[in-house]
Amino acid sequence: MTHPIAVTAGEPAGIGPDILLMTAMQPQPVPLVAIADRDLLADRARSLNLDIRLVDAADPGAATTGYPAGTLAVRHCPLRRPVTAGQLDPHNAPYVLETLDIAIAGCLSGEYAAMVTCPLQKSVINDAGIPFSGHTEYLAEKTGTPRVVMLLAAGGLRVALATTHLPLADVPAAITRDSLTATLRILHADMQRRFGIPAPRIAVLGLNPHAGEGGHLGREEIETIAPVLETLRSSGMSLIGPLPADTAFTPRALKGVDTVLAMYHDQGLPVLKYAGFGSAVNITLGLPIVRTSVDHGTALDLAGKGTADAGSLAEAISQAVRMAKTG
């Protein structure tokens, strides 16, 4: 793979710039291009006492051989206002979205092999008057992708979500036969295309306690989930379930399983983050590009102090490299 990986720095007042700089101090498997304000990175490097060389991404070396540890190529995207670490400013919300737009356009054109995103602050973007529900939804809109699937990976475990950032009360109505079918098709296809698994085995959780207990604790399993699984099995997919969520993550249940599909955010992700918080990777499936992300937030209280952990970003970059090579 000769093309670089684009890394967006995320919320400028958070730890995104910190972990990006910390990561660039280590050897990388492929060239990286930071999509960020160059002065922001320089100021933050001084705060962190990091002796790092920032170079223009237009330098031919950035796109081919890359730079050694301690040097970072930067595609300059100007801030709207100067930043103080730990202090949010809605005026910089357009800057954050512009960094994403640059990375997306570069991936679609083939300039970048993949994009990796540092954390952003959804609340401050909305405070700026820009409706924004998250990276995943934004990337889907900007790439014209009708449906995407959020998947997190850590410690040998992969968990995908049938619904993402919804109030719990809205989840049952959002799980329809059509939506679940589309989600499973994307998950199956990208397990093959992006992860190189020819015949993925997918464990599918039920929505209700004990997977509905034969209809006594809810009928979604009987009326929606099981019929979808039966239909897709007939097309050749290897699907297990619907399974009770409370026992689906035991070692015995996970044996031979390539990924788990949870019905909602807090059904699957607490287990995943327990398995590997700080090293987990957020992956968006179904896109025409490769996108991975850290599994944590902006940690405003840690920004500029040198105490942030860059492990998740390192894992996200490694995962993006593997996926770009496979897909």
Closest CA to 243 of 264, 258, 231, 226: 226
Confirm or deny that 282 is annotated as ligand binding.
Answer: yes
d(CA 188, CA 147): 14
Confirm or deny that 136 is annotated as ligand binding.
Answer: yes
CA 206 to centroid of chain Cα atoms = 24
Confirm or deny that 165 is annotated as ligand binding.
Answer: yes
Confirm or deny that 143 is annotated as ligand binding.
Answer: no
Confirm or deny that 273 is annotated as ligand binding.
Answer: yes
Confirm or deny that 210 is annotated as ligand binding.
Answer: yes
3-class SS letters over the chain: CCCCEEEECCCCCCCHHHHHHHHHCCCCCCCEEEEECHHHHHHHHHHCCCCCEEEECCCHHHHCCCCCCCEEEEEECCCCCCCCCCCCCHHHHHHHHHHHHHHHHHHHHCCCCEEEECCCCHHHHHHCCCCCCCHHHHHHHHCCCCCCEEEEEECCEEEEECCCCCCHHHHHHHCCHHHHHHHHHHHHHHHHHCCCCCCCEEEEECCCHHHHHHHCCCCHHHHHHHHHHHHHHCCCCEEEEEECCCCCCCHHHHCCCCEEEECCHHHHHHHHHHHHCCCCEEEEECCCCCEEEECCCCCHHHCCCCCCCCHHHHHHHHHHHHHHHHC
Please give the annotated binding residues for a divalent metal cation, written as ranges. 165, 210, 265
Annotated binding-site residues for substrate read 135-136, 273, 282, 291
Annotated binding site: 135-136, 165, 210, 265, 273, 282, 291
